[in-house]
């Protein structure tokens, strides 16, 4: 049983006239009659009663038409649901946060204002996390990204070092990252970031401090 057969059956059932249905479907009347004959053989019962030159949908045909209509409605709904799923999937963006950022509320707002249909999933990820194809990452680092094609600098911030009164580093006008080695440093961000920062050579980076 083929979908085309069922579509032809629907047309015959609606018109209850082989000639009118054939004209509507742009096929010859004998060809349409053969399609109906084969369909009735597959179903195992006549679907129309012949009344003179007319055909009338009988009880078997009414039951069959009901289920054929439901089948086509289900197929249409399935196609619509799949198109909706594809449209939704293509507008789903995962936003992975590697570090807390004041940029997040404004960034979220700008994305939703630009396209309200975008589904934005905000995830907390670790420093070793690798982005997927449909994923954006907000991270912090002490160096500029080498991959400028896929990375953008959103914010530049100074690294500030707070020291207690009497700390030996207070006597220095500026502090290099290596100067902090050997001292206990408490950071509010990811420890990997600070570990890498304090491994830098002495002339690489200056940490400004506030007492």
The per-residue pLDDT for range 167-185, each reduced to its tens digit, is 887 887 777 766 766 666 6
Tokens describing residue 5: 């057969």
106 versus 72: the higher-pLDDT residue is: 72
CA distance 19 to 118: 51
Sheet containing 175-176: give its strands across.
160-162, 206-210, 175-176
Question: In this model, does residue 160 exceed pLDDT 90?
Answer: no
Euclidean distance between CA atoms 67 and 69, whole angstroms: 5
Q: What is the pLDDT of residues 52-102, one digit of tens each?
A: 778 899 999 999 999 999 998 998 888 888 877 776 556 777 777 766 566
* pLDDT confidence of residue 1: 79
pTM greater than 0.95: no
Give CA 124 to chain center in angstroms: 18
The pair of structure tokens assigned to 115 is 């396209």
Query: What are the backbone dihedrals phi and psi of residue 84, each rounded to the nearest 5 degrees, phi first?
Result: -65, -45
Q: How far is residue 118's CA from residue 123's CA, in Å, rounded to a whole number? A: 16
Work out the pLDDT band at 210, boundaries 50, 70, 90.
very low
Q: Which CATH class is domain 3-88?
A: mainly alpha
More confident residue, 93 or 187: 93
Cα→Cα distances 5→42, 65, 72, 100, Å: 11, 12, 12, 62
């Amino acid at each position: 049983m083929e979908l085309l057969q069922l579509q032809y059956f629907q047309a015959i059932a609606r018109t209850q006239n082989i000639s009118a249905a054939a004209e509507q479907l742009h096929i010859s009347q004998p060809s349409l009659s053969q399609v109906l004959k084969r369909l009735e053989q597959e179903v195992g019962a006549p679907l129309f009663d012949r009344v003179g030159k007319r055909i009338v949908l009988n009880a078997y045909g009414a039951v069959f038409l009901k289920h054929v209509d439901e089948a086509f409605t289900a197929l249409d709904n399935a196609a619509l649901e799949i198109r909706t799923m594809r449209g939704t999937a293509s507008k789903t963006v995962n936003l992975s946060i590697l570090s807390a950022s004041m940029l997040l509320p404004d960034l979220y707002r700008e994305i939703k204002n630009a396209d309200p249909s975008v589904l934005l999933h905000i995830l907390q990820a670790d420093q070793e996390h690798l982005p997927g194809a449909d994923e954006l990452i907000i991270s912090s680092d002490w160096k500029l990204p080498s991959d400028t094609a896929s990375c953008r600098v959103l914010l530049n911030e100074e690294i500030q070092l707070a020291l207690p009164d009497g700390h030996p580093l207070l006597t220095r006008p500026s502090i290099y990252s290596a100067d902090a080695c050997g001292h206990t440093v408490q950071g509010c961000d990811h420890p990997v970031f600070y570990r890498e920062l304090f491994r830098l050579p002495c002339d690489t980076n200056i940490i400004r401090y506030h007492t």
